Every structure is written in C-alpha cells, then in structure tokens.
Amino acid sequence: MSPASTPLQSSAVISEAVETLRNGGLVAFPTETVYGLGADAKNPEAIQKIFATKGRPANHPLIVHIAAPEQFDVPQVDWVSLLAPWARDIPEDALKLINTFWPGPLTLVFKKDKSVLSALTGGQDTVAIRAPAHPIAQALLRKFKGGVVAPSANRFGKVSPTSAADVRNEFEGMLDLMILEGGDCEVGIESTIIDFSSGDEAVLLRPGVITPKEIMAKTGVHVSLPGELHLQDKENPEGVNLPRVSGSLKAHYAPTTPLRLYAPARALDALSEYPDIKSRVAVAVWDSESSLVLEDHPSTDVSEIIVSSDPASFASKLYRTLRDLDQQGWDLVLFPEPPPGEEWDGVRDRLQRACFGSGPSSNSHDSN
Ligand code: TXA
Ligand code: MG
C-alpha cells in the first residue's frame, strides 16, 4: 500500500491509541484486509469488552496481531523468539510461510503458550497469530510492543468493515470508541487462516486472497483443505468443526437485504423466481459481460451494478458493495456465482455465507 494513498495518522494519534490500549480500552484500526477492533491481548477485561461490544459468543477465539520487525528485509528474523510469548511447536513449514507472506493477510494457528489467556482462545489450546501489513496497524503494534487481539470491527455475524466510516456505523452509540483512519482496505476480505497446531500438517481453515496454490508455488508447502482431512467424521458429517472459526458458521458476513446468487447468464431466471412486480432488484453483472438486457423483464424495477471479473479487485470491493447496497433500499440483490477456481474460493465462501444469513431477520438467526 503506498503511503500516498493512505492518510497516515500522526504519531501523536498513534501514541494516544497506544495509551488507550494500555489502559484497557478498545481501538479500531485499519488492516490491509478489514478494520479490526483491537484490545491488549494480555488484559482479560479488555478482551471481555471486545466480546461484549461485538456481541460475540465467548467460545469464538480471537486473532493476536503482532508487529513485524522493522528490519524486515534482513533475512535472519528470529520468528521463533518473536512468537515464543504466544505459540510453541512452530514447524519449519510455518516459518517458510511466515518468511514469505508476513507482514500480510495470512493468519497461522499454533499450540498456545501457557501464558496466553484462555478467554482469548475461546478455551482452546491453540492460538491464531498474524502480522498485518497496513502501515497504521504496524505503527500501532510497534509502539504498543505487545500483542493486540483484533476481530473484524463489526457486530457479530455482520459484514466486516473496510473503512473507518463503516466502523463508525457499526458501533454508532459507542461515542468513546477510538477509530484510526486508514482509508479503504486494499484486500477487502479477511485473512487466510492456516492451522499448524496438529504438527507438520497445514490445514486451510478460512480461504482468503493467499491461496494454497500460491503457497505451494512460493514455499513448496502443501496446504490441505478441511475436506481432505479427518474433520469429516461421523458425528460431524459436514466437516464443520465449530466454533473454531466463527467465519465458518453458515450465516456470517450477512447483509440485511436478501441476497441470492445466479448461475452464469441466468439472471433473468433468478428474477422470475421473485415475481413481485413492485420489487426493486439490484443485479450485479461481470464487467467482462455485455449488458443483460434486463429491461426486457417487465415485472420488476431492476438496476445493474458492474462488478470486477478479477478476483482480487472483486474481493477488495465486496463488503463495500454489500454495505452500500444495504443502504439503498433494494428488495433483493442478485450476484453472479463466482467461477470455479481456487483464486475465487475466498470470495465464494463470503458470498455464500452472506446469502445464507441475509435478510431482515438475520439479526435473530441461530448462528448470530
Ligand atoms: O483479516 C483478518 O483476519 C481480520 C483483521 C482485523 O485482522 N480479523 C478477523 O478476525 O477476521 P475475526 O475475529 O473476525 O475472525 C478470526 C477468525 C475467527 O473465525 C476465529 O474463530 C478464528 O479466526 N480463530 C481464532 N483463533 C483460532 C484458533 N485458535 N483456532 C482456529 N480458529 C481460530
Ligand atoms: Mg469477523
């Protein structure tokens, strides 16, 4: 991210944020993926505040964010020592990923050090860690000198925020919440999560813009998909090992407006399944496709919105688009199904969950 495109916070503001964290307060801050709601990872009351503010169930673990060393270009960063206060049994393969992708949108899960608060890990014996790349996140973490837990800065089950204004909207009543301004998030969906806690085997827990294919190409490390593993046992036929990853609840990232996906070139079919003539429907269309001639559809008030057919650009705008559409009073939003291919997995995952939980009743959905 170029500093020119990022309104950098002054060091006085960063110092105030550090003070707030030290005093047990919450600070929302930008990362390259989404905005996080930060608290001191060593302060149990501050961690409690995070769960209460988000309305997040206590057994959903948080990610610890740490600073990358300033001399990151130096080849010999001793990551094992840097991670020692948090994690143990760090496999060689994990170090390869760290050296290649940190700081960046990749979270790794390890066996936790015994000093890590169990309120932070949702009672599990593992801990998730990432070093975010955003310069403001890095400035904050370096000055704070400790770990900062930071879930996405949204109410539980809602669309993650990708701008400071989104965070403000999420927590409207909380006037004392400090929010660091850092522009729009470049990646736009949450980090890829890979679990190394079972030894040398790397398992994908949450897809993101860093894909197993890219990891293989750059590090030679094979990352298994949960379906390839023992997660698929009899008691748990869907392979959903909940609630290790709250993003793995079916209804997560949910907008209030009903959202559906349509098969390639089937937008009109999807519309005719929704025949209320007074409906106002927004239909997202790939920028690579010519217009769908939706005017031919007589019964509904339909508008097209153009979405990028490049997976990274699509991801960077996805939550922004869903939030904006939610403000515009549509009765239904239709999105094209992402094409097959691993580079679309992160986006497909978020879109499918957003569909499942969408609609005005999503607040009271079981899994929220
Ligand atoms: O990109 C991101 O990761 C953003 C930014 C703010 O860094 N953070 C984020 O946090 O997405 P959150 O809390 O919204 O999602 C963290 C995910 C949850 O689904 C949680 O269950 C999972 O990480 N997680 C945390 N600790 C874990 C652990 N020990 N084992 C498995 N999953 C874990
Ligand atoms: Mg989240």
Is the beta carbon of 159 within 6 A of some atom in ligand 1?
A: no
Q: Which of 47, 59, 62, 83 to mutate to test the pocket of ligand 1 (most atoms within 8 A of CB)?
A: 62
The Cα–Cα gap between 221 and 228 comes to 16
The Cα–Cα gap between 130 and 39 comes to 15
The Cα–Cα gap between 52 and 282 comes to 34
Range 273-306 burial, b when 16+ CB lie within 10 A, else e: eeeeeeeebbbbbbeeeeebebeebeebebebee
Q: In the beta sheet, which residues pair with residue 152?
A: 36
What backbone torsions phi and psi does residue 288 show, to the nearest 5 degrees? Answer: -85, -5
Is the beta carbon of 33 within 6 A of some atom in ligand 1?
A: yes
Which residues, including other chains, have CB under 8 Å from residue 146's CB and lie 6 or more apart?
40, 41, 42
Is the beta carbon of 36 within 6 A of some atom in ligand 1?
A: yes
Is the beta carbon of 30 within 6 A of some atom in ligand 1?
A: no
Is the beta carbon of 300 within 6 A of some atom in ligand 1?
A: no
What local confidence, expressed as pLDDT, does residue 8 receive?
Answer: 63
Q: Give nearest CA residue, ligand 1 atom 12.
A: 151
CA distances from 178 to 28, 39, 153 (A): 6, 11, 12
Contact 254, 356 (CB under 8 A): yes
Residue ranges near ligand 2 (ion) with Cβ within 5 Å: 152
What local confidence, expressed as pLDDT, does residue 239 receive?
Answer: 38
The Cα–Cα gap between 65 and 130 comes to 5
Bridge-based pairing state of the strands 280-286 and 332-336: parallel
Is the beta carbon of 259 within 6 A of some atom in ligand 1?
A: no
Count the Cβ atoms, other than its own, within 10 Å of residue 133. 20
CB burial of residue 185 (10 Å; 0-12, 13-18, 19+): buried
Ligand 2 centroid to Cα of residue 290, in Å, is 35
Take residue 314 and report the two structure tokens written for it. 């699509």
- Tracing tokens 């986006």 back to the chain, one arrives at 347
Is the beta carbon of 150 within 6 A of some atom in ligand 1?
A: yes
What local confidence, expressed as pLDDT, does residue 178 receive?
Answer: 96
Which residues, including other chains, have CB under 8 Å from residue 286's CB and lie 6 or more apart?
306, 307, 308, 309, 336
What local confidence, expressed as pLDDT, does residue 268 receive?
Answer: 76
Ligand 1 atom closest to the CA of 247, numbered from 1: 19
368 residues of the chain, pLDDT tens digit each: 444 444 567 899 999 999 999 999 999 999 999 999 999 999 999 999 999 999 999 999 999 999 998 765 556 788 999 999 999 999 999 999 999 999 999 999 999 999 999 999 999 999 999 999 999 999 999 999 999 999 999 999 899 999 999 999 999 887 789 999 999 999 999 999 999 999 879 999 999 999 999 999 999 999 999 776 544 444 444 333 434 554 555 656 788 899 999 998 787 777 777 666 667 889 999 998 866 556 666 666 888 999 999 999 999 999 999 999 999 999 999 999 999 999 999 999 999 999 988 877 544 333 32
Is the beta carbon of 90 within 6 A of some atom in ligand 1?
A: no
Ligand 1 atom closest to the CA of 245, numbered from 1: 21
Q: Give nearest CA residue, ligand 1 atom 23.
A: 245
The Cα–Cα gap between 177 and 193 comes to 28
Ligand 1 atom closest to the CA of 187, numbered from 1: 1
The Cα–Cα gap between 142 and 69 comes to 8
Take residue 237 and report the two structure tokens written for it. 């036929």
Ligand 1 atom closest to the CA of 105, numbered from 1: 1
Is the beta carbon of 180 within 6 A of some atom in ligand 1?
A: no
Ligand 1 centroid to Cα of residue 241, in Å, is 14
